[in-house]
Amino acid sequence: MPPTQLDDAERLGFISDPGSTDDPWPARVRIEPDTGILIDVPVSPRHFPLPQLMNIPQPPPILTFADEQGRLTLGDCRGLSIKRLSGTGCSRWSIQAAYAVAGADHPDESVKQIEALRSTLTGLHDWMGWRNTTMTVRENIQGGTDEVTIRKEMLESIRIPAADVNVVLTPSVGMRDFEFTGDSTELTSESAEPLSWVEHFKAHHSLRNLIALCVWEPVDFVGHEVRHPGPGRRLVSGKVLPPPWRDLFYVHHSRRVRGVAPAEPTVRAEHFGYWDLTEADVRTWMEINTSHRRAIAPLMSHLYLKGLPVETQMSHVGACLEALRFADLCLAGRPRRAAANEPIGFRAKCLAEQMPEPVASLIGDASNWSGALARSYNSVKHANRDPVDPADLFWLVSSGALVARTRLLQLAGISDDAFRRLKSSGWWKPMQEAVAGMLAREVDRIA
């Protein structure tokens, strides 16, 4: 590899195959939250003869890495490329790993078997609505201020039992050098028996999707830690500590724009929060997140992927509405074959008729709105259909996403009365007027 300046995401050390006695190889590891863990290894012809360079060499599925900062277990590794470095006689072997776990105590597939997963999630603390700060001001006889006291109360965690894991929401107060550094909430899932972290992540992704629907802004993970089963460290006093938390670098293939750090969403008065739900509602939502995953995924794509053509947005929202009605029917006991036979117009109409106020007033007549949406969705899907005006398409996408979001939040347990706060949003009146104008043009077109 040519000389390079390491940045904060890069580490220089040695990789090795935990199942081999071969000497470790020098390597540069780059951890990217959106593209995975990239490993560059310099190799000479004695490692890979020239004829072998025609095919990309594949590494062991699990590698260990060591440098001055410590050790990592790199998993689900695969060879990406091998390139000759001109003038050196050597090549650069590029490997991608799907995850990296701090430490090398589990250099095999058991690294994925954990008893707890802890995540930091943007927007979680504000969504919870914790109120743990009080301020007291003491005035003097002249009317000035003598003392200001800020008190931070340590709140209790909330535990939500689920099917395979228990979800724990823990508020914390950050302090450094006797100064407050901010409040936060940790999302933890715990299991009585070791489970694959895939099962733990289901609960974490479920909460992420719920918060994103409530605030209608992208919500992303900032970091993860895992705790493996096993004996903890015994202190001199005889007390046994639980096993340590280890950093987990994991690629979610989320819909975040590459290279853009996750921002904290802003919780506004028209948004929904944990205060609108109960623990039972959150537990129900975890089930809905599974039964309605084919509807939630395209809606999250619409929310997270910014700057897409309006036709692409319509394909996301239309697919969401189709899957949403299908999942509702299956949940109600309708056979899957029968649930799949409804056309998009009828599906959209049934969903529109379930809308509470003021969403029902915004979309107006359910038959007119669903007919316009079906025509627009089909114009995007089928090349033999006449295209719809992009401005009308935009407002059908926006109102369709609102219908889908409202229906999913209804299933989560948000009361119909709570949706009235949507009218306080700055986008409400412009959307209401634009949808009314679009539907009026649709009626004239049909007439």
List per-block mean pLDDT (blocks of 10 residues) for the chain, which spans 447 residues. 57 90 90 81 71 72 93 92 76 90 88 94 88 76 77 79 89 66 83 93 95 93 90 78 88 54 77 93 95 96 91 96 96 91 94 96 94 94 89 95 97 96 93 93 82
Looking at residue 182, its amino acid is G
Q: What is the pLDDT of residue 259?
A: 52
- Which are the contacts of 43, defined by CB distance < 8 A and separation ≥ 6? 25, 82, 90, 91, 92, 93
DSSP letters, 273-292, are -GGG--HHHHHHHHHHHHHT
Torsions phi, psi of 315, nearest 5? Answer: -65, -35
| Cα–Cα distance, 398 to 314 (Å, whole number) | 9
Residue 75 CA, chain-centre distance (Å), reads 21
8-state DSSP, 240: B
| Cα–Cα distance, 191 to 205 (Å, whole number) | 16
Q: What is the pLDDT of residue 290?
A: 94
Q: What is the pLDDT of residue 250?
A: 82
Q: What is the pLDDT of residue 3?
A: 45
Which parts of 164-309 fold into alpha helices (H)?
Answer: 197-215, 279-291, 293-304
> Tokens for 131?
């109120």
**Domain boundaries, given as residue ranges, for the chain:** 10-102, 112-130+154-274, 292-446
CB 14 within 8 A of CB 232: no
| Cα–Cα distance, 41 to 97 (Å, whole number) | 13
Helices (H) and strands (E) in the chain, counts: 11, 16
Q: What is the pLDDT of residue 87?
A: 66
Torsions phi, psi of 85, nearest 5? Answer: -95, 110
Q: At what angle do helices 197-215 and 293-304 cross, to 10 degrees?
A: 60
Q: Tell me which H or E stretch contains 304.
A: helix 293-304
Question: Residue 253 burial by CB count (10 A; 0-12/13-18/19+): exposed, middle or buried?
Answer: exposed
Of 172, 162, 391, 190, residue with least CA distance to 280: 162
Q: What is the pLDDT of residue 2?
A: 43
Q: Which residues of 217-235 are buried (b: 16+ CB within 10 A; e: fewer)?
A: bbbbbeebbbbbeeeeeee
| Cα–Cα distance, 359 to 115 (Å, whole number) | 43
| Cα–Cα distance, 105 to 101 (Å, whole number) | 10
